[in-house]
Structure 1
Amino acid sequence: MNITNLFSRFSLKTCSYYGARNNSRRVVYHSDDDTPYHNLAFEEWIYDNVDLSKSSCMLIWRSKPSVVIGRHQNPWLECNLKYLRDNSMFLARRQTGGGTVYHDHGNLNVTFFTSRSSYSRKCNLRLIISALEKKFPFLNLSINNRDDIVMDGKYKVSGSAAKLGRRNAYHHCTILNDANLKLLSSALKPSLSNINTKATSSVRSKTKNLSRCPGDITHQDMQSALTEEYMARAVESEEPYIIQADPSDNNTFEGVKDIIDRLNSWKWIYAKSPKFAIEIPCVGKLSVADGLVSAVESYSECGLSVAPELEKQLLGVKLARSDLQSFREKYAAELSSDKNKYICSLLENILTNI
């Protein structure tokens, strides 16, 4: 069933976002945008601005090739930053916890918004499974003990995370349909494996696409199946709406641009990482807090001298490729001396991998 038929069947309306604020509304948003920061910001906008005690909402969206890390994760440890840069991929940090996920146009994202009291992750996952198995009977889907949706009992096709507030809640999932699994595998390799941190680490799983071959299941097929299932579960008092939304439209969704700017900032994506240290055996250790170098240590047992003057200059420098390169160029003469050999080795190791 296509979206046109859904509009006809449920007497759906295309309306402004204010429709979602009235009593007894059941709303499905279809995002027109594939920039991850825009859709992640729109999730926050709905969470902050819609009275979910009077409305329930579902957002369906996709992203250009992207890696999205959890709120409490470390991007240097969770993904291959050099690979992302070389392949023009996005890196985003979401508001919810949990592990790192990969997005592209072969991956569908769905977000369920409810009041805190109505929140049920299992209910949402069962809705997804019901919708997909009805539409595609060859699928064999189930929920594992980590609240992932798995296919044939062993392949992960969907991961989940949630944000629970005092009044509102949302739960979002990825669904691998026809994603580029080679790109996924390459993107999710760590840039720096020698990191000590208390940041949340991802649990690696075997993954598989729902589609048996390219084009077997289209994005439109999945969007229609999920929309129909969601609307079929509306209670009699709920008036259904489908809204084709531009999540970055600040005129309609006032304040969303500020959220986009925050989620697309270095401060949020990188500096939000919990404190960590990069250790190079027989060389030294570089500690990082708020995305900035906070301490530099030489392993004296390896026979390297300490160079406090240059260490002081490195403190406060961003752990960003451009900033570290600028530091290396500025202090090229000092770094060439034997007493600064360990700092040079630390920088080279980090720059080679980020």
Structure 2
Amino acid sequence: MLYIENPSTDPYYNQALEEYLFTAIQDEDLFFLWRNTPVVVCGKYQNLFAEVHVPTALEEKVALLRRISGGGTVYHDLGNINYSLITSCEPATVDYTQFLNPMIAALSRLGAPAEIVAGNGIGVDGKKISGSAQRMVKRRVLHHGTLLFDTDLSRLRTLADGAAHGDVSKATASNPWPVTNLRTVLPQFDTTEQFFDALYAELDKAFSFERRTLRKEEEAAVRKIAEEKYHDWDWTFGGGPGFERTRTIQTPEDTFPLSFTVKKGIIQEVKSEQPAFTALNGHRFEPETVRRIIGSRSVAEQLF
């Protein structure tokens, strides 16, 4: 199995790297471990605005991304390790267990009492330390997941809070589960980097990795995908299912209901007894734009 060397911690580049390897290399089994600077990543079929507190993420300069696989929303920072496995198999034989078991075995050898939880996750003592998702095209499958080692769990809960309950949508909703860090059961590792190296060593025993670095032209192709797709507002914010949202808006002068729909990230069908809000029609559903049109930061944030 090829192990792809990837020192990057840029979320946009790393998301593009997964997609490039999944589509461009069809005749090799691939694996790589990687880390990201702070980012919230939602599943392909999710309503980002229902899963993430978008104003807070943008204010704190936390990246927001939409990946190519399904599943729920996850938070990454440098205390989290991501893993990706790309291989070929018959569609009828694919399940999460076959991909989770090697990771569980490696964690167990390091001393973590790991087990499958919530169907496609890994947990210790009943709390989740890993969520995973998959994408399959023909006979090619991408399986990837997180490993919370020393993640800022408070920030995770604040940003990926699923706060907008009540949206009418066909979007896939995340499945909340209590989480913990692997550091609580693996005290022998002082840093995430130490754990990263130890985990790699255990997985190498199982997979017999052949290390490989990207060629310059491959890196250029990855950067192109990152720029054209993962930095693109229409993919990240406009790429999910449409939804209908109803809010009770409070101003110093009044309290009133407001409803609107969002399709491809664009506000439509605003219904309000306050005519000024209809000016939102046709504009992007994004905090700065809504604030500018409404003229009030506190009122604008009530829409999110």
TM range (shorter): 0.7 to 0.9
Q: What is the rounded CA distance, in whole Å, between the counterparts of 2:26 and 2:212 in structure 1?
A: 17
In structure 1, C-alpha distance between the alignment counterparts of 2:176 and 2:140, rounded to whole Å: 30
Cα gap change, 1:276 to 1:58, in 2 (>3 Å): same
Q: Does the Cα contact within 8 Å between 2:41 and 2:74 map onto a contact in 1? A: yes
1:278 to 2:245 alignment: yes
Q: Which residue of 1 aligns with 2:252?
A: none
Contact 2:100 2:122 (C-alpha < 8 Å) held by counterparts: yes
Q: Deviations over 1:131-187 (max 9, x none)?
A: 1221x22x21111251211102x1101001001011311100100111111111111
Aligned with residue 281 of structure 2, among 302, 315, 327 = 315
- Structure 2 length as normaliser, TM-score? 0.86
C-alpha separation in 1, matches of 2:115 and 2:277:
56
Q: 1:76 aligns with which of 33, 41, 49?
A: 49
How far off is 1:328 after superposition? Answer: 3.0
Q: Which moved more, 1:119-128 or 1:100-109?
A: 119-128
8 Å contact from structure 1 (residues 178, 214) kept in 2: no
The reply on whether 1:263 has 2:240 as its aligned counterpart is no
- Whether 1:171 and 2:143 are equivalent positions in the alignment is yes
* Equivalenced residues, count: 293
User: Hey, what does 1:195 align to over in structure 2?
Assistant: 167
> Displacement, 1:327?
2.5
RMSD of equivalent CA atoms: 2.6
- Secondary structure at 2:270's aligned position in 1? strand
Question: Is the alpha carbon distance of 1:58 and 1:286 closer, same or farther for their aligned partners in structure 2, counting shifts above 3 Å?
Answer: same
**1:148–1:156 CA contact under 8 A, matched in 2:** yes
- The 2-side partners of 1:83 and 1:322 are apart by 12
Which is higher, the Rg of structure 1 or of structure 2?
1
- Report the secondary structure of 1:283's partner residue: strand
Alignment partner of 1:123 is 2:98: yes
**1:131–1:225 Cα contact (<8 Å) kept:** no
Name the counterpart of 2:210. 241
Which of 34, 44, 58 is 2:19 aligned to?
Answer: 44
Supply the AA of the counterpart residue of 1:265: D
8 A contact 2:34–2:82 mirrored in 1: yes
Q: Cα distance, 1:232 vs. partner? A: 2.9
**Alignment deviations for residues 205-248 of structure 1 (CA, whole Å, 9 cap, x no partner):** 1001111289743333433344334433348xxxx422355xxx
Contact 1:116 1:165 in 2 (8 A): no
AA aligned opposite 1:292:
I
- SS for the counterpart of 2:219 is coil
**Is the contact made by 1:109 and 1:172 (CA closer than 8 Å) also made in structure 2?**
yes
How far residue 79 of structure 1 moved from its aligned partner, in angstroms, is: 1.3
Kindly report which structure 2 residues correspond to 1:1-354, keeping only aligned pairs within 5 A, or say none. 26-52=1-27, 55-117=28-90, 119=94, 121-134=96-109, 136-137=110-111, 139-152=112-125, 154-190=126-162, 192-212=164-184, 216-217=188-189, 218-234=191-207, 240-244=209-213, 251-261=217-227, 262-281=229-248, 282-298=256-272, 304=273, 307=275, 311=278, 313-328=279-294, 349-352=299-302, 354=304
Q: Are the aligned partners of 1:99 and 1:201 in contact in 2 as well (CA < 8 Å)?
A: yes
Structure 1 residues 89, 310: closer, same or farther in 2, change over 3 A? closer
Cα deviation digits, residues 112-136 of structure 1 (max 9, x gap) = 01013385532221111111221x2
In the alignment, the residues of structure 2 paired with residue 156 and residue 234 of structure 1 have an alpha-carbon distance, to the nearest angstrom, of: 25
Query: Unmatched 5+ residue regions in structure 2?
Result: 249-255
Distance 1:234 1:186, change over 3 A: closer
**Aligned to 1:108, what secondary structure does the other structure show?**
strand
What SS is found at the alignment partner of 2:120?
A: coil
Q: Which amino acid aligns with 1:77?
A: A
Return the alpha-carbon distance in structure 1 between the equivalents of residues 259 and 194 of structure 2: 51
What amino acid maps onto 2:49 in structure 1? W
User: What residue ranges of structure 1 are gaps of 5+ in the alignment?
Assistant: 1-25, 299-303, 330-343
Alpha-carbon shift at residue 254 of structure 1 (Å): 4.5
